[in-house]
Amino acid sequence: MLAKRLIACLDVRNGCVVKGVQFEDLATAGDPAALARRYDAEGIDELVVLDVTATIEKRRALEDTLRRVSAELFIPLTVGGGIRSEDDAAAALDAGADKVALNSAALQEPSLLTRLASRYGSQAVVVAIDAKRTADGRYEVFARSGQDRTAREAVEWAREAADCGAGEVLLTSIDRDGTRSGFDCSLTAAVASAVPIPVIASGGAGTFDHFDEVFTAGRADAALAASVFHFSEHAVADLKAFLRGRGIPVRL
Amino acid sequence: MIALIDYGAGNLTSVRKALTAVGAEYFTPANPDDIRNVSGLIIPGVGHFGTTKALTAAWRTAILGVVDCGLPLMGICLGMQYLFEGSDEAPEAPGLGLLAGTCRRLPSLVKVPHVGWNDLQIVKPSRLLADITTGAMTYFTHSYAAPLTPATVAQTDYGCTFAAVVEDCNIFGVQFHPEKSAAAGLEILRSFVQVTRSPDREITRSPGRPC
């Protein structure tokens, strides 16, 4: 049976892991390569390296960080942040990433997803969507690390991105990011039931129950977290044992 | 020395890294002539079956020549599908035809592509899975899959039951990515590398004759 995936996110700035609350107030959490090795040993299913400031500062994700992170890693590695062209994607993949996540660039130019999918396959192309609940209960997509409104609706954009060739959706709730108050299960379920590709839920993980909720009520295929894994030892193995106890298929 | 065939279907950085980790000696041949004196072949690949058309007639002849000598060949993901007669994904692109059957799209009752860790159900003993037990999980990412045939040594369920690992004499294939499947994946690659070091020419595959 296909397992629900647990994905650790390393938000990296200037070669160091940082973790923000609602995308701001970054505080240093550690060395990315050391964290990657620890997660791999603990049984994490996948890693995402996000160069959180890359788009803002218009620079590429640090390739040497990627090389160091991927050197001894034999699980899938996704990189995001500042991937704006086929050349950026090629550099990230050559540095050891298996997938590239596109956010602002895909919004600007959806055909970039198509070109990357035809060159590397859809499995290498992730569309990252940052969404925020609006007053009327819809979910609006934001670009440039949550700074710019786009007026696009999350479900509709996820559908279009899948049609363009994205192989997975990395869906982040800006409202929940860093709050540890639980994933936005209604946002996740809305997107997961609308697209034919896997959806990774992100933003808000705080307790083991939150993962149970997002895999059941939220219909997520995978769940991504940062702080929950960063600041406690054995969190991955304990979480997997907990989920298995709840009847959720996981890789032990 | 193992030849890792690069025909432009995806990025080979991860495969190279994993082969290095299990102590394999390998190179990426530039021309079909370069694979004359190898100890084995690996055909990796992700993406669309149509990209296998980059393997020209000269490449196909060279690959089949190596296989006819009894040397081991392993296909990974798209490379495993290429061992079969073809795929519905690109009906105009012939597979190598080393294994009978055609690859079909996974049923739409499940999300396609099949992405993530799924378990292997071992159906018969094999050299490739010598150190693997039923229930081991490996990382898959694919939309098409190979049928169950007598060459199937492990199967996986996702919308249907398909061949996850195939082995027929000196022909080996895995639908998942061993280079991305943590310890279990490295173990499988190590087993293949072991086969390339001690190929049993007696069990060379020949058409119509079981080995």
Burial class (CB in 10 A: 0-12, 13-18, 19+), B58: exposed
Please write the tens of the pLDDT for every residue from A37-77: 888 888 999 999 988 765 555 455 568 888 889 988 999 99
Quote the minimal CA–CA distance from B179 to chain A in Å.
6
Q: What is the pLDDT of residue B140?
A: 97
Q: What is the pLDDT of residue B203?
A: 57
The number of folded domains in chain B is: 1
Evaluate whether residue B117 is within a structural domain: yes
Q: Is A121 left (phi over 0), alpha (psi -120 to 50) or beta?
A: left
B118:A118 CB<8 A: no
Chain A residues touching B114 at Cβ < 8 A:
2
pLDDT at A26 over 50: no
What are the structural domains, with CATH classification, of chain A? 5-245 (3.20.20.70)
Please tell me the distance from the alpha carbon of residue A96 to that of residue B181, in angstroms, as a whole number.
15
Q: What is the pLDDT of residue A19?
A: 65
Average pLDDT of every residue of chain B: 92
Q: Which two tokens stand for residue B122?
A: 């071992």
- Range among A89-93, A95-99, A179-183 rated most confident: A179-183
Compute the average pLDDT of residues A2-24. Answer: 79
Chain A residues touching B115 at Cβ < 8 A:
123, 167-168, 197-198, 221
* Kind plus residue range of the DSSP H or E element containing A99: strand A99-102
Evaluate whether residue B205 is within a structural domain: no
Q: Using CB atoms, which residue from B9, B108, B118 is nearest to A2? A: B118
Please write the tens of the pLDDT for every residue from A103-153: 999 999 999 999 999 888 888 999 999 999 999 889 999 998 888 899 899
Average pLDDT of every residue of chain A: 89
Please write the tens of the pLDDT for every residue from B10-58: 778 899 999 999 999 999 999 999 998 899 999 998 878 888 889 999 9
Q: What is the pLDDT of residue B99?
A: 98
Q: What is the pLDDT of residue A18?
A: 76
Instruction: List residues of chain B with CB under 8 Å from any CB of chain A.
Output: 9-11, 13-14, 17-18, 21, 46-48, 108, 111-119, 137, 139, 141-143, 157-158, 179-183, 185-186
pLDDT-derived band at B206 (thresholds 50, 70, 90) equals: low
pLDDT at A91 over 80: yes
Question: Which amino acid is located at B144 in the chain?
Answer: Y
Please write the tens of the pLDDT for every residue from A208-225: 999 999 999 999 999 999
Q: What is the pLDDT of residue A20?
A: 53
- Clarify whether B179 is annotated catalytic: yes
Q: Name the residue range of residue B192's domain.
A: 2-200
pLDDT at A25 over 60: no
Please tell me the distance from the alpha carbon of residue A223 to that of residue A200, in angstroms, as a whole number.
5
CB A57: neighbour CB atoms within 10 A? 11
Q: Using CB atoms, which residue from B10, B14, B158 is nearest to A121? A: B10
A5:B112 CB<8 A: no
CB B100: neighbour CB atoms within 10 A? 12
Evaluate whether residue B210 is within a structural domain: no
Evaluate whether residue B211 is within a structural domain: no
**Total count of residues recorded for chain A:** 252
* Kind plus residue range of the DSSP H or E element containing A129: strand A125-133
Compute the average pLDDT of residues B66-90. Answer: 95
pLDDT-derived band at B92 (thresholds 50, 70, 90) equals: very high
CA–CA distances in Å: residue A127 to residues A138, A159, B36, B60: 20, 11, 43, 36
pLDDT at A200 over 70: yes
pLDDT at A21 over 70: no
Evaluate whether residue B207 is within a structural domain: no
B-chain residue closest to A47, CA distance? B180
- Whether this model's pTM surpasses 0.90: yes
Listed in sequence order, the DSSP H helices in chain A are: 32-42, 63-70, 86-94, 104-108, 111-120, 154-164, 185-192, 208-216, 227-230, 235-245
Query: Do strands B26-27 and B40-43 pair parallel, antiparallel, or not at all (unpaired)?
Result: unpaired
Could you report the predicted ipTM of this complex, rounded to two decimals? 0.90
pLDDT-derived band at A96 (thresholds 50, 70, 90) equals: confident
Could you say which DSSP state residue A218 is in?
T
Evaluate whether residue B34 is within a structural domain: yes
Evaluate whether residue B206 is within a structural domain: no
A251:B117 CB<8 A: yes
Please tell me the distance from the alpha carbon of residue A122 to that of residue B181, in angstroms, as a whole number.
19
Evaluate whether residue B24 is within a structural domain: yes
Please tell me the distance from the alpha carbon of residue B147 to that of residue B163, in angstroms, as a whole number.
6
Quote the minimal CA–CA distance from B173 to chain A in Å.
19
Q: What is chain A's Cα-based Rg?
A: 16
Instruction: List residues of chain A with CB under 8 Å from any CB of chain B.
Output: 1-5, 40, 45, 70-72, 74-76, 93-96, 98, 118, 120-124, 167-168, 196-198, 221-222, 251
List, by residue number, the catalytic residues of A: 11, 130
| B122-161: b (≥16 Cβ within 10 Å) or e | beeebbbbeebeeebbbbbbbbbbbbbeebbbbbbebbee
Q: Using CB atoms, which residue from B13, B48, B116 is nearest to A5? A: B116
Pick the range with the lowest mean pLDDT from A107-111, B47-51, B81-85, B126-130.
B47-51
B46:A251 CB<8 A: no
Please write the tens of the pLDDT for every residue from B149-201: 999 999 999 999 999 999 999 999 999 999 999 999 999 999 999 999 986 65
Q: What is the pLDDT of residue A252?
A: 87
Q: What is the pLDDT of residue A233?
A: 67
Please tell me the distance from the alpha carbon of residue B165 to that of residue B144, in angstroms, as a whole number.
14
Chain A residues touching B159 at Cβ < 8 A:
none
Burial class (CB in 10 A: 0-12, 13-18, 19+), A115: middle
B14:A196 CB<8 A: no
Contacts of A38 (CB under 8 A, 6+ apart): none
Q: Which two tokens stand for residue A163?
A: 């049609």
CA–CA distances in Å: residue B115 to residues A3, A71, B109, B206: 10, 23, 15, 35
Strand partners of residue B171 = B73, B168
Q: Is A197 left (phi over 0), alpha (psi -120 to 50) or beta?
A: beta
Q: What is the pLDDT of residue B208?
A: 46
Quote the minimal CA–CA distance from A199 to chain B in Å.
10
Share of chain A above pLDDT 70, in %: 90
CATH number at residue B77: 3.40.50.880
